[in-house]
Chain A
């Protein structure tokens, strides 16, 4: 079934592109790797759209040390066939240009701007070719993910630079939100264009929080160190990222994970979804000024955190995953305790759901707010609960079954409400389903080892893995290298596509609805911004000693004393 889908797609590409197809092979049972001439990239994308595949992300690879130029790999997912398709377009090093596919797929915009920044390949015909990831004062011509840029490179300070700003439409004024997003306390800067109380457009600048994670992964760390870094991509759904990374490596290296390990991963993934959805519900209440919801959902969530602490040794950074399996087992003695916690959480979450279901204040703030149409959700490639609440029926657990989801079938929770309320309902449904999944996983926990033995991981292999995070589908792409680490590791956090839906969601809304509209994506800015590197503004940073700080504080106090007319 899978093999035929891959073969059919390859045949179709060959018949449409002719000699434009440089080669097509099945890297993995679920990955078709099609190399096409770069002049055919738009045609190949059109074919991908016609067969109903969904754009995921683009990976830019510097292949010069391997004897090539740059590789631009557009990843697609043919959900019905559980197949990933990689459209790989080699770009020569002397002429780093490729046709942009954003005019065909609006959701490719950020990924193309990203490889423009990081690899230095120009997407020609991109509607908005400005910097996405690199700081505005980063020197021209330095592309951090090129292999000849050292991971600890710091550019010199620059004076007198200005960020590229979008001009507001005529007649509107600019309302800045950020650079710290006021409700989520995370770095993101929105410039809202408003006419009176109504938002008519917006400009986003983010990526203030780059941590150089991908660069560290392919230049400094080793296979088994990366899961611990991957886990720190997100402060809420870290286990998702370490699982996704490990799975990508396991696929690339043909490592079979023991069934028990797959089940334990499933249990931890679903526990993470449970506490993440409760956390989100609380934040949503907080954004709306309904702090009772915040207090109570976080109270209900806390026992789940204690539970994961008991299982893994830490309440959040579980440190459970390694390539080949997990490090800690779930013992029989822990089972009754897990079931106990699930029972309480289920009961209490249900009570909250019942209580808020008919709350007309909540409805007034959420129904019809932050609309995202099914059509645009597909065009912009939205994922996770925001997509499902707009009736886009995707879920990585079903589309690309991993861990134990081939045995334990999740329910696809969706709604056609297309607004914030629909996103609330979808998440509440998923919460219930997650509790069921943990119970089923524990009831069917197979016996056996929890980690596979394997030899050295060979170079030059590719693995693509998807994991359904609470916020949506995360994608990890790993190309193995010969130095006990990946040659290229690409992370796509679910917020990366979802944030691109924001302009459409808030256009025509009132200013007061902007925070909950953005919040309803459950955005995680820090995950999105996993890439590069340190701001050059740091060049002027000064570190004060304790004495200096005390002196500063004293002089400030003295000044205030004078100014305030002798206040103490």
Chain B
């Protein structure tokens, strides 16, 4: 009994003080850490690959101006999984080592870029679908799909129509949001 108490005390004494001085001294995460996303607007080609793989619907793509595709990152939803930066063909997305993202201003967690998309040489407009994005064989949850838009009506539970509706919705590709 006494011996085990002595041993326990010894463990504590030997450990000494282990509390880090953080936040008074910086405490950097190791390289390879998946911190807050950074987006290099000059590299992005607007392919939409990132939006198609993001598990948490962070990335919204809008095509509501001619020749311009808007990428909107709602980073408050980001889970720091790093799938978007994995698939980005241009290396436009990367993780910084920044982890102190708490803020009172939600805008601090929003990134928006406008990507100039190649227009038609004759009429000057962006190509209509099918674009590379529409051809992506990835289906499923989209932040810009109707059911996920804030304020969208929640369907009733019982109607078989709900089932039918859910399954007749266009399954494939990225649908763009019309304004």
- Write the residues of chain A forming the contact surface with B, with a CB cutoff of 8 angstroms: 65, 141-142, 147-150, 152-155, 219-222, 224-226, 228-229, 232, 292, 295-296, 299, 302, 306, 309-310, 313-314, 317, 319, 327-328, 348, 351-352, 354-361, 483-485
Indicate which residue in A148, A220, A310 contacts B162 across the interface (CB closer than 8 Å): A148
When C-beta atoms are compared, the residue in chain B nearest to A311 turns out to be B32
A residues in contact with B140, CB < 8 Å: 220-222, 225, 483-485
- Please tell me if the beta carbons of A359 and B55 are within 8 angstroms of each other in the complex: no
Pairs A–B under 8 Å by Cβ, sample size 12: A220-B141, A221-B140, A222-B141, A299-B18, A306-B30, A309-B33, A314-B33, A314-B80, A351-B11, A356-B4, A359-B5, A484-B138
In the bound complex, CA of A494 to CA of B153 (Å): 37
B123 at the interface (CB under 8 A from A): no
B residues in contact with A309, CB < 8 Å: 29-30, 33
B24 to chain A, nearest CB (A): 19
In the bound complex, CA of A292 to CA of B14 (Å): 13
B residues in contact with A483, CB < 8 Å: 139-140, 171
In the bound complex, CA of A359 to CA of B3 (Å): 8
B132 at the interface (CB under 8 A from A): no
Indicate which residue in B147, B163, B171 contacts A148 across the interface (CB closer than 8 Å): B163
- Please tell me if the beta carbons of B155 and A153 are within 8 angstroms of each other in the complex: yes
B159 at the interface (CB under 8 A from A): yes
Indicate which residue in B7, B10, B83, B157 contacts A149 across the interface (CB closer than 8 Å): B157
A residues in contact with B171, CB < 8 Å: 483
- Please tell me if the beta carbons of A225 and B163 are within 8 angstroms of each other in the complex: no
In the bound complex, CA of A257 to CA of B137 (Å): 23
B-side interface mostly: loop
When C-beta atoms are compared, the residue in chain A nearest to B171 turns out to be A483
In the bound complex, CA of A299 to CA of B12 (Å): 10
B143-176 interface bits toward A, Cβ cutoff 8 Å, 1 = contact, 0 = none = 0000100000011111110110011000100000
A360-B4, A484-B139 are known; give 5 further A-B pairs, CB within 8 A. A150-B157, A228-B56, A314-B80, A355-B4, A484-B138
- Please tell me if the beta carbons of A153 and B53 are within 8 angstroms of each other in the complex: no
Indicate which residue in A65, A153, A232, A359 contacts B4 across the interface (CB closer than 8 Å): A359
- Please tell me if the beta carbons of B158 and A148 are within 8 angstroms of each other in the complex: yes
In the bound complex, CA of A306 to CA of B157 (Å): 46
B108 at the interface (CB under 8 A from A): no
- Please tell me if the beta carbons of A148 and B53 are within 8 angstroms of each other in the complex: no
When C-beta atoms are compared, the residue in chain A nearest to B18 turns out to be A299
B81 at the interface (CB under 8 A from A): yes
- Please tell me if the beta carbons of A152 and B147 are within 8 angstroms of each other in the complex: yes
B residues in contact with A292, CB < 8 Å: 8, 12
In the bound complex, CA of A361 to CA of B1 (Å): 8
- Please tell me if the beta carbons of B33 and A65 are within 8 angstroms of each other in the complex: no
B94 at the interface (CB under 8 A from A): no
- Please tell me if the beta carbons of B139 and A352 are within 8 angstroms of each other in the complex: no
- Please tell me if the beta carbons of A65 and B55 are within 8 angstroms of each other in the complex: no
In the bound complex, CA of A357 to CA of B155 (Å): 59
In the bound complex, CA of A529 to CA of B160 (Å): 28
When C-beta atoms are compared, the residue in chain B nearest to A222 turns out to be B140
A150-B162 contact given A221-B55, A309-B29, CB 8 Å threshold: yes
**Most chain B beta-carbon neighbours within 10 Å: one of A153, A225, A328, A348:** A225
When C-beta atoms are compared, the residue in chain B nearest to A147 turns out to be B163
When C-beta atoms are compared, the residue in chain B nearest to A362 turns out to be B4
A-side interface mostly: loop
B84 to chain A, nearest CB (A): 12
A319-B154 contact given A355-B8, A483-B140, CB 8 Å threshold: no
A residues in contact with B166, CB < 8 Å: 150, 219
Sort A-B residue pairs by CB-CB distance and give the 9 closest, nearest first.
Answer: A355-B7, A225-B55, A222-B140, A313-B34, A148-B163, A359-B4, A228-B55, A150-B155, A220-B141
When C-beta atoms are compared, the residue in chain B nearest to A546 turns out to be B104
B82 at the interface (CB under 8 A from A): yes
When C-beta atoms are compared, the residue in chain B nearest to A309 turns out to be B30
A96 to chain B, nearest CB (A): 15
In the bound complex, CA of A155 to CA of B156 (Å): 9
A residues in contact with B15, CB < 8 Å: 296, 299
B70 at the interface (CB under 8 A from A): no
When C-beta atoms are compared, the residue in chain A nearest to B14 turns out to be A351
When C-beta atoms are compared, the residue in chain A nearest to B56 turns out to be A228
In the bound complex, CA of A302 to CA of B147 (Å): 42
When C-beta atoms are compared, the residue in chain A nearest to B34 turns out to be A313
B170 to chain A, nearest CB (A): 12
B residues in contact with A220, CB < 8 Å: 140-141
- Please tell me if the beta carbons of B32 and A228 are within 8 angstroms of each other in the complex: no
**Most chain A beta-carbon neighbours within 10 Å: one of B8, B12, B29, B83:** B8
- Please tell me if the beta carbons of B147 and A356 are within 8 angstroms of each other in the complex: no
In the bound complex, CA of A317 to CA of B11 (Å): 30
B residues in contact with A314, CB < 8 Å: 33-34, 80
- Please tell me if the beta carbons of A327 and B86 are within 8 angstroms of each other in the complex: yes
A319-B34 contact given A224-B53, A296-B11, CB 8 Å threshold: yes
- Please tell me if the beta carbons of A222 and B1 are within 8 angstroms of each other in the complex: no
For chain B, residues 1 to 46, give those with C-beta under 8 angstroms from any C-beta of chain A: 1, 3-5, 7-8, 10-12, 15, 18, 29-30, 32-34
B residues in contact with A352, CB < 8 Å: 11
In the bound complex, CA of A314 to CA of B95 (Å): 12
- Please tell me if the beta carbons of A149 and B82 are within 8 angstroms of each other in the complex: no
In the bound complex, CA of A222 to CA of B145 (Å): 14
B98 to chain A, nearest CB (A): 13
Indicate which residue in B8, B79, B80, B157 contacts A356 across the interface (CB closer than 8 Å): B8
A residues in contact with B33, CB < 8 Å: 309, 313-314
In the bound complex, CA of A327 to CA of B3 (Å): 48
In the bound complex, CA of A355 to CA of B15 (Å): 15
In the bound complex, CA of A308 to CA of B158 (Å): 46
- Please tell me if the beta carbons of A153 and B154 are within 8 angstroms of each other in the complex: yes
**Most chain A beta-carbon neighbours within 10 Å: one of B3, B81, B156:** B81
A149-B162 contact given A228-B55, A314-B34, CB 8 Å threshold: yes
In the bound complex, CA of A483 to CA of B171 (Å): 8
In the bound complex, CA of A43 to CA of B134 (Å): 53
- Please tell me if the beta carbons of B8 and A319 are within 8 angstroms of each other in the complex: no
B residues in contact with A354, CB < 8 Å: 7
Indicate which residue in B34, B141, B147, B158 contacts A225 across the interface (CB closer than 8 Å): B141
- Please tell me if the beta carbons of A355 and B11 are within 8 angstroms of each other in the complex: yes
A residues in contact with B80, CB < 8 Å: 314, 317, 319
